[in-house]
């Protein structure tokens, strides 16, 4: 076991193979690029590392990492199709669909996968993507069923068929489970983030590999004495969900009756507390590790415990007013259902998903008659969890890692200020004038300034906005025109405006390389509106004009800095951010993405490198 954990050293070769990968996928689908995150090396190390990590018996899940693996595969596969690979919008659609298939195979839950991708991961999810994800998740599930890796012949992993329906009074414990799930989610996020911060600040800690080994040893020592913890997470969950009368061998002693069941309750609660503790220190280590299954297990442990308590209570006081609706001589309480509801509530508290959890739970278990209690518990769990903190676990990690993810939900408070307060003013921008350049002078401007593009104005005094040229297009055309067949000398005149006297053979007309219809907002626009532009139109920058005169430029990253508070800006400065092309704030750091698919169409060039190989694909 330790040996396996130790072999996670491989991971050192691809640092993005660690963790669940879901926060990063969210960031990527939100329109930013993380180099090498979806590359071949990440795929290989993550796949191997995941197998080893799960086999090590540590308290982690395989679901999140499988989503990452699916996205890596998709990203490598679409490199074969340049028409998709060069279109950021379509690439993201493919990644959304791949994520759906990841969950589809992880839980055997095709519809749940589509909804997970929709609810948790995706930033833009048009109808078309829904349909693509549907086909993708279905195919994945069909292939899984054909391979039948668990030799069970069915897709439903933890199938249960309960012989009873639920009673009205059971809503009280179900609501309690929802509450507990929310409290668990809130506390877990706080604890996990506290561990992560502590780990980052405690410089005396040994390296990540030693940490992994230490946690693995600790896990082994703590788990061995406890019957429940010794098992694999998924076995445990499967047993917790099952009904006693259907269980052939009671491996975990869950179905003891009488006095012995008191011990079972204590063991279950103890296992849940231990699981909470282990999951909090494991999630965030440098290994592939998901949080979905551990959360479900913890919820199921607590749920089962409450179920057994209810069962004993009902058994001892069958005449209590609430239990009147029970039929005599038939088991009234099914502790397995409490486990399912507890698992759903815990998952809801941690991830803050709603519809997807319900669908995943009933695709996992087939407990269709319990759909209403599950919905109630998930709803309450989300309410309670949101009271602790509005961020789910994945959003918390995005925040912790300071990924520039612009939350799409309408719940972030956007300060009601004019966007012009935070834009980069024209005085601080590097703008190009329409005329008076040579190839050499433009090359010099590009070498001097790292910005991703430059606004073009009529002349410096009267800065009428003419267009915007991206660094990539400018670099390409300047380079191309000094090569055969044109072979223009560096002192060639270059301009962005109509020059009737210029000889097209000896001068360089850059107008066709410039975006002549850049999107603009009026100067007085509020920040709300600018944020809508970024979120809904998928832009990366917008320029502000007043009656045609350029006033300034605002990038998506600027907005992200503002919305995420100024104190973090300072902290970020010192760290090597894994963002592609992370250039200085305030410059023309942006490129209109392919998302709109509008405007200049085929001419549009994606500057940012395709994820993974670091090359930049010009025209």
Residues 464-483 binding a copy of itself (CB under 8 A) are 464-465
Q: Does 371 bind a copy of itself (CB under 8 A)?
A: yes
**Least gap, CB of 530 to a copy of itself (angstroms):** 9
Q: Does 245 bind a copy of itself (CB under 8 A)?
A: no
Left (φ > 0), alpha (ψ -120 to 50) or beta: where does 427 sit?
A: alpha
Q: Which of residues 103-142 bind a copy of itself (CB under 8 A)?
A: 110-111, 114-115, 119, 126-128, 130-131, 134-135, 138, 141-142
Beta pairing class for 541-546 and 520-522: parallel
With helix as H, strand as E and coil as C, how does 28-70 read? HHCCCCECCCCCHHHHHHHHHHHHHHHHCCCCCECHHHHHHHH
Q: Does 425 bind a copy of itself (CB under 8 A)?
A: no
Residue 575 burial by CB count (10 A; 0-12/13-18/19+): exposed, middle or buried?
exposed
Sheet holding 493-495, edge to edge: 437-438, 493-495, 508-509
User: Which C-beta is closer to a copy of itself: that of 410 or that of 567?
Assistant: 410
Structure token digits, residue 418: 């004019």
Q: Does 288 bind a copy of itself (CB under 8 A)?
A: no
Decide if 121 contacts 63 (C-beta within 8 A). no
**Least gap, CB of 458 to a copy of itself (angstroms):** 8
User: Which C-beta is closer to a copy of itself: that of 57 or that of 112?
Assistant: 112
**Least gap, CB of 604 to a copy of itself (angstroms):** 12
Counts of helices then strands in the chain (DSSP H, E)? 23, 10
Cα–Cα distances in angstroms (integers) from residue 270 to residues 222, 275, 302, 348, in the given order: 11, 8, 9, 22
Residue 102 burial by CB count (10 A; 0-12/13-18/19+): exposed, middle or buried?
buried
Residue identified by tokens 């005169």 is 549
Q: Does 258 bind a copy of itself (CB under 8 A)?
A: no
Q: Rule CB under 8 A: choose which of 517, 577, 614, 619 binds a copy of itself.
A: 517
- Whole-number Å distance between alpha carbons of 128 and 361: 26
Q: Which of residues 140-179 bind a copy of itself (CB under 8 A)?
A: 141-142, 145, 153-156, 161, 165
**Least gap, CB of 100 to a copy of itself (angstroms):** 10
User: Which C-beta is closer to a copy of itself: that of 294 or that of 594?
Assistant: 594
Q: Which of residues 375-394 bind a copy of itself (CB under 8 A)?
A: 375-376, 379, 382
Q: Rule CB under 8 A: choose which of 273, 372, 387, 412 binds a copy of itself.
A: 372
User: Which C-beta is closer to a copy of itself: that of 90 or that of 304?
Assistant: 90
Biggest distance spanned by C-alpha atoms of the chain: 102
**How far is residue 149 CA from its own chain's centroid?**
27
Cα–Cα distances in angstroms (integers) from residue 604 to residues 27, 87, 170, 339, in the given order: 23, 9, 59, 53
**Least gap, CB of 573 to a copy of itself (angstroms):** 31
**Least gap, CB of 366 to a copy of itself (angstroms):** 4
Which of helix, strand or coil describes residue 21?
Answer: coil
User: Which C-beta is closer to a copy of itself: that of 209 or that of 355?
Assistant: 355
- Whole-number Å distance between alpha carbons of 191 and 207: 21
Cα–Cα distances in angstroms (integers) from residue 525 to residues 409, 442, 521, 529, in the given order: 21, 32, 7, 7
Q: Rule CB under 8 A: choose which of 172, 548, 603, 619 binds a copy of itself.
A: 548
Q: Does 525 bind a copy of itself (CB under 8 A)?
A: yes
User: Which C-beta is closer to a copy of itself: that of 230 or that of 526?
Assistant: 526
The number of residues that bind a copy of itself (CB under 8 A) is 71
Q: Rule CB under 8 A: choose which of 249, 329, 410, 427 binds a copy of itself.
A: 410
**Least gap, CB of 517 to a copy of itself (angstroms):** 4
User: Which C-beta is closer to a copy of itself: that of 82 or that of 126?
Assistant: 126
Q: Which residue stretch of 11-19, 209-217, 337-345, 542-550 sits at the interface with a copy of itself (rule: CB under 8 A)?
A: 542-550
Q: Which of residues 340-369 bind a copy of itself (CB under 8 A)?
A: 354-355, 358-359, 362-363, 366, 368-369
Q: Does 545 bind a copy of itself (CB under 8 A)?
A: yes
Site string (570-609) toward a copy of itself, x via CB under 8 A: --------------------------xxxx-x--------
Q: Which residue stretch of 262-270, 492-500, 539-547, 605-613 sits at the interface with a copy of itself (rule: CB under 8 A)?
A: 539-547
Residue 410 burial by CB count (10 A; 0-12/13-18/19+): exposed, middle or buried?
exposed
How many Cβ atoms from other residues are within 10 Å of residue 109's Cβ? 26
Q: Which of 618, 617, 613 is nearest to 35 (CA)?
A: 613
**Least gap, CB of 464 to a copy of itself (angstroms):** 5
Decide if 246 contacts 335 (C-beta within 8 A). no
List the Cα angle 576/581/585 in 5-degree steps.
Answer: 80
**Least gap, CB of 246 to a copy of itself (angstroms):** 14
Decide if 153 contacts 267 (C-beta within 8 A). no
Q: Does 79 bind a copy of itself (CB under 8 A)?
A: no
Q: Does 246 bind a copy of itself (CB under 8 A)?
A: no
Distance separating the N- and C-terminal Cα atoms of the chain? 51
User: Which C-beta is closer to a copy of itself: that of 10 or that of 412?
Assistant: 412
User: Which C-beta is closer to a copy of itself: that of 537 or that of 583?
Assistant: 537
């Amino acid at each position: 076991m330790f040996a396996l954990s130790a072999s996670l050293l491989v991971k050192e070769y691809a640092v993005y193979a660690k963790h669940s990968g879901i926060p990063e996928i969210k960031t990527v689908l939100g329109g930013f690029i993380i180099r090498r995150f979806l590359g071949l090396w990440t795929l290989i190390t993550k796949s191997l590392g995941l197998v080893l990590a799960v086999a090590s018996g540590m308290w982690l899940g395989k679901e999140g990492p499988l989503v990452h693996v699916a996205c890596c595969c998709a990203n490598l596969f679409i490199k074969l199709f340049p028409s998709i690979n060069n279109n950021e919008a379509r690439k993201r659609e493919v990644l959304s669909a791949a994520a759906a298939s990841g969950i589809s195979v992880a839980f055997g839950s095709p519809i749940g996968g589509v909804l997970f991708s929709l609810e948790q991961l995706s930033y833009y999810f048009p109808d078309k993507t829904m349909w693509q994800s549907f086909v993708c998740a279905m195919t994945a599930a069909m292939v899984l069923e054909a391979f039948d890796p668990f030799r069970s012949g069915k897709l439903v992993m933890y199938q249960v068929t309960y012989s009873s329906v639920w009673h009205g009074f059971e809503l009280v414990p179900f609501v309690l489970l929802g509450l507990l799930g929310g409290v668990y989610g809130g506390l877990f996020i706080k604890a996990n983030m506290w561990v992560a911060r502590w780990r980052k600040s405690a410089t005396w800690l040994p390296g990540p590999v030693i940490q992994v080994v230490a946690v693995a040893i600790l896990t082994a020592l703590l788990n061995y004495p406890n019957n429940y913890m010794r098992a694999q997470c998924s076995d445990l969950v499967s047993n917790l969900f099952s009904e006693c009368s259907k269980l052939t061998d009671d491996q975990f002693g869950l179905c003891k009756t009488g006095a012995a069941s008191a011990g079972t309750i204590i063991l279950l609660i103890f296992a849940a507390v231990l699981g909470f503790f282990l999951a909090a220190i494991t999630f965030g280590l440098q290994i592939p590790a998901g949080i979905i299954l551990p959360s479900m297990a913890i919820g199921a442990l607590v749920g089962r415990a409450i179920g057994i308590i209810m069962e004993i209570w009902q058994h001892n006081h069958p005449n209590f007013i609430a239990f009147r609706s029970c039929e005599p001589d038939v088991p009234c309480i099914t502790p397995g259902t409490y486990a399912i509801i507890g698992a759903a509530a815990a998952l809801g508290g941690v991830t803050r998903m709603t519809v997807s959890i319900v669908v995943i739970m009933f695709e996992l278990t087939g407990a269709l008659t319990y759909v209403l209690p599950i919905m109630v518990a998930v709803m309450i769990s989300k309410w309670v969890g949101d009271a602790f903190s509005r961020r789910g676990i994945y959003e918390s990690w995005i925040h912790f890692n300071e990924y520039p993810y612009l939350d799409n939900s309408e719940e972030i408070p956007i300060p009601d200020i004019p966007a012009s307060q935070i834009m980069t003013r024209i005085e601080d921008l590097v703008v190009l004038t329409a005329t008076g350049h040579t190839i050499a002078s433009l090359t010099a401007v590009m070498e001097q300034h790292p910005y991703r593009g430059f606004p073009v104005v009529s002349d410096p005094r009267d800065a009428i906005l003419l267009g915007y040229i991206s660094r990539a297009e400018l670099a390409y055309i300047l380079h191309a025109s000094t090569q055969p067949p044109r072979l223009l000398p560096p002192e060639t005149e270059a301009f962005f405006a109509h020059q009737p006297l210029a000889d097209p053979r000896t001068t360089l007309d850059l107008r066709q390389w410039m975006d002549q219809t850049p999107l603009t907002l009026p100067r007085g626009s509020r920040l709300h509106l600018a944020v809508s532009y970024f979120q809904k139109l998928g832009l990366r920058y917008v320029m502000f004009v007043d009656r045609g005169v350029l006033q300034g430029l605002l990038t998506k990253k600027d907005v992200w800095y503002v919305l995420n508070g100024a104190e973090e800006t300072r902290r970020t400065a010192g760290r090597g951010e894994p963002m592609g092309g992370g250039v200085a704030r305030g410059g023309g750091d942006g490129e209109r993405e392919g998302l709109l698919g509008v405007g200049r169409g085929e001419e549009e060039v994606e500057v940012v490198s395709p994820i993974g190989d670091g090359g930049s694909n010009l025209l």
